[in-house]
A and B are shown apart, each in its own frame.
Chain A
Amino acid sequence: MKLRVQLQCKNLHEYLKELSPEILDRLYNHPATCLAVYRELPSLAKNYVMRMLFLDQPLPQAAVALWVKKDSQKDHDECVSVLAGLRLWHSQQLQGGLQGYILNPVFKDNLRTALLGGGRAWADEGSTLGPDRHARDIESLDRYAMERWEIILQFMVGSPSAVSQDLAQLLVQAGLMKSEAGEAPYITSAGFQFLLLDTASQLWYFTLQYLKTAQSRGMDLVEILSFLFQLSFSSLGRDYSVEGMSESLLTFLQHLREFGLVFQRKRKSRRYYPTRLAITLAAGVASSSSSSNLASSPGTGDAGFIVVETNYRIYAYTNSELQIALVALFSEMLYRFPNVVVAQLTRESVQQAIANGITAQQVLLHWAHLHTKNSTPVLPPTITDQIRLWELERDRLQFTEGVLYNQFLSQADFEVLRDRAQGLGCLVWQDVAHRVMVVTPQGHSEVKRFWKRQRSHT
């Protein structure tokens, strides 16, 4: 039985915790990163950081502990661990010998710069280049972004679309697609789960995978991350210049252009426009209200919508190939019209989707996204329950490996051995009437030895 690989969408903090301390300290040198990290903190931690932002001396731990009431001690401890894990504050010895907390000075300075001003500009503004003759407005930027992102998703589903070698390589490395030697890559179960996520999570997962491979390409992780955060804080509709960007950053910009995160008219063009996708990126896994336009439908030009009926029929009013392919993942297509696709949810189709690694939860969440534009989500409870039941059907049986002991000559032998196995904790199953028992493979050698000793005694 194939084990299901669950797609994990780490958020920013977990990713940062994995980085080494030196990289983290270098990373905090940029105000954009500090602001991004600050925004992702739990709100109690945000308050702590804000309180300590303008202090230069360490605060005693006892004082910090007094900031919360007794019954919120758990939240306080959680915050302390989060802040320490991200190296945002250090413990320092105070004069009286008590332990105190002080904010990481690099982080503190840069967050202050982000709030108050001063310091280096984040990026050179496009004002040095003068107004853009080929300026793009926001709708065309949005369209461009969704187009590019959809091309990537379509490539994953298997429709023919042109993606660069680099991108295909990245998808394979991310585990979303697999490629046999010489053949075109095809999608894996992780890839299926990826398709059903909402756009913000998809973006984030993709970026994380890219960052993981960045070091192997010879790019500086800190530089790329800082640029990414800077991008996510830029305003939509403004152009920025590429002055002062290093080689690796320019390569990164070209990759971003392919993903649809920035728009650049030509490869050599000296200004670029961040798109809505880039700005959503900093929202991380938890999407914010600014992404409500994206969450309506991952990758349709027109906002299609889906109606799920209680007779297990699905009517998808959409033209987008991607949406249709997604619906086809877990239902059987019945009819296709120019603006409607009719499909039927059957036990076989859902179970096949589940065999591919999609969970019922993901499917239901995917539909819930498509309904956010309307006031109330209309997924009939019968359908949601039934999908969950079909998923559970696959879990009815659980397989455990074991070694079978049978054909005992007497009841006493059986009982002795069974007690021994139980004492060792490796007895999986027994049937006293037939004198049969099953032992785990690990315990098998021990039980066998015991039995041999037993036999040699009697």
Chain B
Amino acid sequence: MASEDEINLLVIVVDVNPIWWGQQAQRDPQFTLSKCMDAVMVMGNAHMAMARTNKLAVIASHCQGSHFLYPSKSWSGEDGGGNDVSSSGDGKYELLSAANNLIVEEIRNIMSKIEVTGNSTDTLLAGSLAKALCYIHRLTKELEVGQEIKSRILVVKAAEDCALQYMNFMNVIFAAQKQDCLQNPATTDSQAQKEETETTNVMGDFFVFVFLY
């Protein structure tokens, strides 16, 4: 009876390309990276609140690679992480506020450490998607007998596409498809996006793309 529950895993891949976000701040000062991260965290909180066995992972994708925001390597795990992680001073569920604080801290670390050289200004999204798939695969292996895991990737894409990334991108999508996980991107009204989504449109819901431009 104990291992009957299904684990729902949500992996959120957030595009934190500093160049695009910097330009965005000039275009529309209302919508900044911190607002976007807030929204992403609310989505993660809502997912975690739904059931006790739900799991979350957040990956930040920028021009020099991708980085796990949550669960981060320095985090000890679910029990006893009390010392560094400050508790919520308000009415938020403790687990959620611990997760949120972690995410905020990690992204602060990342943004302060990135050095953007002139050549690479494109978001390495395919790499982040590959990391997400590997994480899902690892968790699937670590399950106890009788447990099942259902996983989804939510991609919040900011910067424009890069032609160089195309092959990698398609490879990742086909790899996900081979794992019997199906994809369905959410579209916007941009023409470039329309073409891209047509090529990846199959059925079902494994990837969900949110395009911010």
Contacts and interface: CB of A to CB of B under 8 A. Distances in A.
Interface of A: 31-32, 35, 38-39, 43, 46, 50, 110, 113-122, 125, 127, 137-138, 198, 233-238, 282-283, 287-292, 295, 365, 368-369, 372, 375
B203 interface: no
B47 to A, nearest CB: 10
B82 A235 contact: yes
Interface in B146-201: 147
B29 interface: no
Interface string B1-35: 11101010000000000000000000000000000
A115 B92 contact: yes
A236 B52 CA distance: 14
B87 interface: yes
A119 to B, nearest CB: 3
A113 B82 contact: no
A289 B145 CA distance: 11
A292 B4 CA distance: 10
B115 interface: no
A288 B82 CA distance: 23
B50 A235 contact: no
29 contacts: A32-B93, A35-B49, A35-B93, A38-B49, A38-B50, A50-B46, A113-B90, A113-B92, A114-B93, A115-B45, A115-B96, A116-B45, A120-B91, A121-B88, A121-B90, A122-B91, A235-B82, A235-B98, A236-B80, A237-B82, A238-B80, A283-B52, A288-B5, A289-B144, A292-B2, A292-B3, A372-B2, A372-B3, A375-B145
Given A46-B50, A118-B90, 9 more contacts: A113-B91, A114-B93, A115-B45, A117-B92, A122-B94, A236-B80, A289-B3, A289-B52, A375-B145
B50 A368 contact: no
Contact of A115 (B2, B86, B93): B93
Contacts of B144: 289, 292
Contacts of A122: 91, 94
A116, A137, A234, A368 interface centre (most CB from chain B within 10 Å): A116
Contacts of A39: 49-52
Interface of B is mostly: loop
Interface residues of B, number: 34
B91 A117 contact: yes
Contacts of B2: 287-289, 291-292, 295, 372
B1 A237 contact: no
B97 interface: yes
Central interface residue in B7, B42, B50, B97, by most chain A CB within 10 Å? B50
B118 interface: no
The 3 A-B residue pairs with the shortest CB-CB distance in the complex, in nearest-first order: A119-B91, A292-B2, A113-B91
Interface of B: 1-3, 5, 7, 42, 45-46, 49-53, 78-82, 86-98, 144-145, 147
A138 B80 contact: yes
Contacts of A116: 42, 45, 92
B79 A237 contact: yes
A282 B52 CA distance: 10
Nearest to A53: B46
Nearest to A365: B1
A210 B2 CA distance: 26
Contacts of B92: 31, 113-118
Given A38-B49, A235-B82, A238-B80, A114 B91 contact: yes
B181 to A, nearest CB: 20
A198 B87 CA distance: 33
A120 B88 CA distance: 10
A148 B37 CA distance: 45
Given A114-B49, A292-B2, A368-B1, A236 B79 contact: yes
Contacts of B3: 289, 292, 372
A121 B51 CA distance: 22
Nearest to A238: B82
Contacts of A137: 80
B93 A289 contact: no
Q: Which of B78, B80, B98 has the most CB of A within 10 A?
A: B80
B83 to A, nearest CB: 8
Contacts of A237: 79-80, 82
Contacts of B7: 289
A146 to B, nearest CB: 16
B199 to A, nearest CB: 29
B77 to A, nearest CB: 10
A289 B90 contact: no
B40 to A, nearest CB: 13
Given A138-B80, A372-B2, A31 B50 contact: no
A409 to B, nearest CB: 64
A120 B49 contact: no
A138 B77 CA distance: 13
Contacts of B1: 198, 287, 295, 365, 368-369, 372
Contacts of B147: 289
Nearest to B145: A375
Contacts of B5: 288-289
Nearest to B41: A116
Nearest to B51: A39
Contacts of A117: 88, 90-92, 97
A122 B95 CA distance: 13
A368 B147 CA distance: 16
Nearest to A237: B80
